[in-house]
Amino acid sequence: MEILNNRKQENEHITEICKDIYRIQIPLNGSSLGTINSYVIRGADRSLLIDTGYRAEPCIETIRSSLSLLGVRPEKTDILLTHFHNDHSGAATDLIHPWRKIYVPAQEYQFFGIGDDPKVYTESRRPRYLKEGLSDEEFEKMMYITLPGSKGPDFFAGQFSPVDDRQTFAAGEYTLTAIHTPGHTPGHMCYWDEAHGLMFTGDHILFDISPNIIPWPGIPNILGLYLYSLQKLQNYPAAIALPGHRQPGSLSARIDEQIRHHKQRLNECESLVKLYPDKTALEITRLLSWKIRRPRGTRGIPLPLLRYAFGECLCHLDYLRFQKKIEQTFSGGFYRYR
């Protein structure tokens, strides 16, 4: 099929991908990501909107004006989420028509507290994070940093419907199959159109940045699941991968790059643990090499980014423990590694 990656519409946010499929680049004000890609699959009887941006006026208005320009009617549009992070789900409850549904990966309900206090999601991490080297004050500052305008959806909205692995969604000439790809979140879904070779990858596959992998309570080796999910997608002959951020690209080549990246990070973590035994995860995080833009005159990892770096380090340590390449001990109130 013909892929039209660079065909811009009248609205500067819209790019035509192929017949009746459009990317809307939604501004994420204040975020280093810059934008999120929302995808519209236009059909006469039903349209699908994949991911939405924050629950903020710039995101909501960008989508509404873009859908109007494309002739996509809200009363015929369902929303399909790849995962429940705010930048992908936030505007969903404001955009959805009362007659339609918001489809959410089934496992996201448990981990994000849908229908419950969203603080449950953050507080579930506190017990472990404090034992891995953080103080209560550091946890508060790190985990409750909120960008202006980065709100999530209304957790109590009644239009959420769970998505299961292999569930299908049709719109126009396209039929998407949900593929469970845990890693970035426990319930993350990619959506595959076999007839046209299109893979909507959410945050499972990104092209000039790496998806953030952090621990999840009750899942002992989330990095192992992520690597398994990467290998799982190697079986799909995608003509193009359409990611949640930045530009599209080759699915197979990027999977190979991501696997190499994590192998290199695992080797670095293991070497540091052997070189500096009995360090906490926080101390190891600060020893690892990171590609970070720092404000002029500052050192170390800026607090907004420490949240992600610390989580990544924990996942790699968990993987190494699972492989019995390092050991975890407990002394002085903290877990330590050797």
Rounded to an integer, the average pLDDT of 176-189 is 98
Say if residue 5's pLDDT is above 60.
no
Question: What value does the mean pLDDT take over residues 91-97?
Answer: 94
Looking at residue 122, its pLDDT comes to 82
Give 122's strand partners.
Answer: none
Mean pLDDT of 202-207: 97
Task: Please report the pLDDT score of residue 120 as a whole number.
Answer: 75
265 with 314: CB under 8 angstroms? Answer: no
pLDDT over threshold 70, residue 153? yes
Position 323 confidence tier, pLDDT thresholds 50, 70, 90 = very high
Q: How many CA atoms lie within 13 A of 89 on its CB side?
A: 24
The per-residue pLDDT for 109 is 79
For Cα atoms 258, 107, 82, give the angle at the middle one, nearest 5 degrees: 55
| DSSP character at residue 75 | G
The pLDDT assigned to 19 comes to: 96
pLDDT for res 114: 58
107-143 pLDDT, tens digit per residue, is 987 777 655 666 777 888 999 999 999 999 999 888 8
- Per cent of the chain over pLDDT 70 is 91
Q: Where are the domains of the chain?
A: 7-251
Give pLDDT, residue 121: 75
pLDDT of the residue at 3:
58
Give pLDDT, residue 290: 85
**Rounded mean pLDDT of 182-189?**
97
User: Average pLDDT in the 34-53 region?
Assistant: 97
Per-position DSSP letters for 138-182, written without gaps between them: HHHHHHS---TT-----TT-TTEEEE-TT-EEEETTEEEEEEE--
Q: What is the pLDDT of residue 10?
A: 56
- For the chain, the average pLDDT equals 91
* pLDDT category of residue 2 using cuts at 50, 70 and 90: low
* Burial of 45 per CB tally in 10 Å (0-12, 13-18, 19+): exposed
40 CB-near residues (< 8 Å, 6+ apart): 21, 22, 24, 47, 48, 49, 50, 66, 67, 70, 72
Class of domain 7-251: alpha beta
Q: d(Cα 294, Cα 271) in Å, to the nearest integer?
A: 25
Average pLDDT over residues 199-207: 98
- Give pLDDT, residue 29: 84
Q: Summarize pLDDT for 229-282 with one digit per residue, the tens.
A: 999 999 999 999 999 999 999 999 999 999 999 999 999 999 999 999 999 999
- Cα(146)–Cα(318) distance, integer angstroms: 27
pLDDT at 27: 93
Rg (the chain; Cα; Å): 20
Q: Give the tens place of pLDDT for each residue, 218-233.
A: 899 999 999 999 999 9
SS3 call for 15: strand
Q: What is the pLDDT of residue 305?
A: 84
Residue linked to tokens 């990095």: 223
* DSSP character at residue 225: H
* pLDDT tops 70 at residue 334: yes
